[in-house]
Chain A
Amino acid sequence: MSKFQFPQSIKSRPVYGTLAPQPGKAHLMIADAEGAEALLDLAEQDSTIMAQAHIIFIPKGTDFSDKLRALSPAQFYEGPTYEASIQRIRHVLEHAHQGLQVYLAGTEGLMGQAQNEAMQAGIPHTSIQTEHRGSVARRMQCVHCKGITEDVLFDPFVCSHCGLNLFVRDHYSRRLAAYQGVCIDAEDPGNIPDPVELYS
């Protein structure tokens, strides 16, 4: 089951919905891994939008690509990583017009970063649809060295840049598309709780 209901948290924490077809001139769909299932559900609600759809998919080891191709989107791109897909996402947004609908699905890291690109292209974040599927791993920023650690699944974790032990907070930055990680043993160096898997 790729759906996970996040518990209620602080206001800063993003809330994700369920993708629904919206009237529009073009439909940009960006997903990673199990996010593909949300796109399949979306196509089931209204298959006609696929004629104007551009799907950008990062499989992350899953095998959804053929199923997505079978939806016959106007354009389909499979990228090895999100980083490798950014050029294409920016190109699409740069040449897009008002009326473009953006659908994001999959991990929080992917949705946050793609939302950021869409916002910078001029789409209000309130008009960008998101649906969380798959891993609950987070993209974390170390508030001390500012380095980003991707796919963090345990709390606390070690910053991949400066090596501090970081506490995983729900405090989120839309600009950075990352949660904030704060040193957990600053007062008492070495006193580090055992890492616990997020939402386990």
Chain B
Amino acid sequence: MSAAPQKTKSGAEQIEVTVSAVVPVNDLVTRFEFSRVDGQPFPTFSGGAHTVVIMNDDGRRRMNPYSLMSDPADTSTYAISVRRDDAGRGGSLFMHTQVKVGDVMTLSYPVNLFSLDLRARKNLFFAGGIGITPFLSMIAQLERMNGNWELHYSVRSADLGTYADDLKTKYPNNVHVYYDDQSQSIPLTDLLDGQPLGTNAYVCGPKGMIAWVHASAKEAGWPDAQVHSEEFTAPQPGKPFEVRLCKSDMTIKVGENESLLEALEREGVDAPFLCRGGACGQCETTVVSHDGEFIHRDHWLDDDQHASGTKIMPCVSRFVGASLLLDR
């Protein structure tokens, strides 16, 4: 037996919290600050970590991952910033419209899938829009360590530049903001040229921006291991489908507006998970047999694995077809 405590349920350990502040940052983004119900200090975390926020939306359980943006060394509070997505599945809308100061909610322990490489000689951050959030905790961590960093932050406009003014005021020499509405863009090719050996690049933002940074860095001869990115995919709605579960010996239906993982949880099946955004790999499930097409949306499995039809990530991926048999 291992001496480590044995987990009884899937997912990271959970913390009961009270919403201590709800601060509108701009038209789209609101910051939520939390304190612990039991008054204990929060666990410290590392810059770039996220928490899964568990919401009780009129009986429906929503679990969305958000990057922790507070100072990792501040154990008195956790903070997240949520961008309202009017076309999304409703998690961000619930946060914006329903959550009030004093509400009790549940957060997961921090999980980090986007950590700093502390061997880096220099850290080059590329943020797009709400993708700024993980960098806020990374910057706080690096400032304590006297770390070498610089931020290149692309925003739509000054009004929607979440924390852009704060950052520019606090770190005028490190922060560079580019405004879309003034036709400014990150001079990526120039920035990737001439960086000291051992520089690590990090990108968080829209899908296209992440692909752009990876491709440009590769073209400029940067090692893959020194270009980091994080993208959470929200599960997309799709046609309902049926799944047969071997180990649990049951057949379940996945509804139009729920993910396969959520359907498993609704039926009481203890399925592993962490990020719920197709990034961490924790929920990887073996496909025993299938007759139909997979709609893979994760960033975990590679193209060959997607094509093989032997694995699925239930947090974001779906299935269309006659039958699907899972080893769960």
A complexed with B: yes
Binding site for B on A (CB under 8 A): 22-25, 93, 96-101, 121-124, 126-127
Listed A/B pairs (20) with beta-carbon separation below 8 Å: A23-B218, A24-B221, A96-B197, A97-B195, A98-B192, A98-B194, A98-B196, A98-B198, A98-B199, A98-B220, A99-B222, A122-B121, A122-B196, A123-B198, A123-B223, A124-B223, A126-B224, A127-B223, A127-B224, A127-B226
A100 to B197, CA, bound (A): 8
Residues of A within 8 A of B226 (CB): 98, 124, 127
* Extra contacts besides A22-B221, A97-B197 (19): CB < 8 Å: A24-B220, A25-B193, A25-B220, A93-B197, A97-B194, A98-B192, A98-B195, A98-B196, A98-B198, A98-B199, A98-B221, A99-B193, A99-B220, A99-B221, A99-B222, A121-B197, A122-B198, A124-B223, A124-B225
* Cβ of B119 under 8 Å from chain A: yes
Residues A100 and B221 in contact, CB atoms below 8 Å apart: yes
Chain B residues in 8 Å Cβ range of A127:
223-226
- Given the complex of chains A and B, what is the CA–CA distance between A121 and B121 in angstroms? 9
CB neighbours of B224 from chain A (8 A): 126-127
Which chain B residues numbered 198 to 248 have a C-beta less than 8 Å away from chain A? Answer: 198-199, 218-226
Count, chain B residues at interface, CB 8 A: 20
Residues of B within 8 A of A100 (CB): 197, 221
CA distance A85 to B221 in the complex (A): 25
- CB closest chain-B residue, reference A120: B198
Docked Cα-Cα span, A96 to B192, in Å, equals 13
Residues of B with C-beta under 8 A to A101: 221
- How far, in Å, is A28 (CB) from chain B's closest CB? 11
| CA gap between A25 and B220 in the complex, in Å | 7
Residues of B within 8 A of A23 (CB): 218-221
- Tell me the complex Cα distance, A25–B216, Å: 13
Expressed in whole angstroms, the minimum distance between the Cβ of B28 and any Cβ of chain A is: 34
> Are B197 and A123 closer than 8 Å at their CB atoms?
yes
Closest 6 CB pairs of A and B: A122-B198, A24-B221, A127-B223, A99-B221, A124-B225, A98-B195
